Amino acid sequence: MNLPNKLTILRAIMIPFFLVFLYMSPGWSKWVALGIFIAASLTDMLDGKIARKYNLVTNFGKFMDPLADKLLVCSALIALSDLNRLPAWIVIVIIARDFIISGFRLIAAEKGIVIAAGWWGKIKTTVQMIMVGFLIADLKVFYIFDQVLIYLALALTLISLGDYLYHNREVLKD
């Protein structure tokens, strides 16, 4: 097993630990949760760079990397909604976008088309991860900034969905 795949597995393993610390009583545990989330997010960036640079792309990585990413972000979003730091309807929109894109990719794969992630999606993911970090920290002095990040992440979610569907619309043609 190569290093990028090990980093992907590590990210998946970190998720339950992240959630345990996030749900512990307020105090130092949120900082541990934030550290775990940041470390997991960095493995997302790192495994892809290493895999591409050293030609270590594998079918396992193609499958597990996006799955680990979705599990990390969706777990964080759902938990933050449960902790009343993020409106549930926004979580639903963000997760629905991911389901739509995943379904779209399945249709494309059946037609032998591989669709790479676009820039809007990468920007969306980055903003979502920054937003999650700030919401985990739960610093009341940044309330307005938190709100800006939430609605920016929501806007980028919708923009990236529209961009993705528009640029790959031929996939739906029969």
8 Å CB contact between 47 and 33: no
Is 88 in contact with 98 (CB distance < 8 Å)?
no
CA distance 112 to 95: 25
Domain ranges within the chain, ordered by starting residue: 3-172
Specify the pTM: 0.91
Tokens describing residue 103: 């379904």
What pLDDT, in 10s, does the model give residues 26-58?
Answer: 789 999 999 999 999 999 889 989 988 999 988
The pLDDT of residue 15 is 98
Q: Mind listing the pLDDT tens digit for each residue in 140-161?
A: 888 999 999 999 999 999 999 9
Tens-digit pLDDT profile for residues 101-123: 988 888 888 888 877 778 999 89
In CATH, the number for domain 3-172 is 1.20.120.1760
**What is the predicted pLDDT for the residue at 113?**
83
User: In angstroms, rounded to a whole number, what is the distance separating the alpha carbons of residues 74 and 51?
Assistant: 24
Cβ atoms 113, 171 nearer than 8 A? yes
Q: What is the pLDDT of residue 118?
A: 85
How far apart CA 8 and CA 50 sit, in angstroms, is 12
How is 114-144 classified by DSSP, letter by letter?
--PPPHHHHHHHHHHHHHHHHHHHT-GGGHH
Mean pLDDT for all residues in the chain:
93
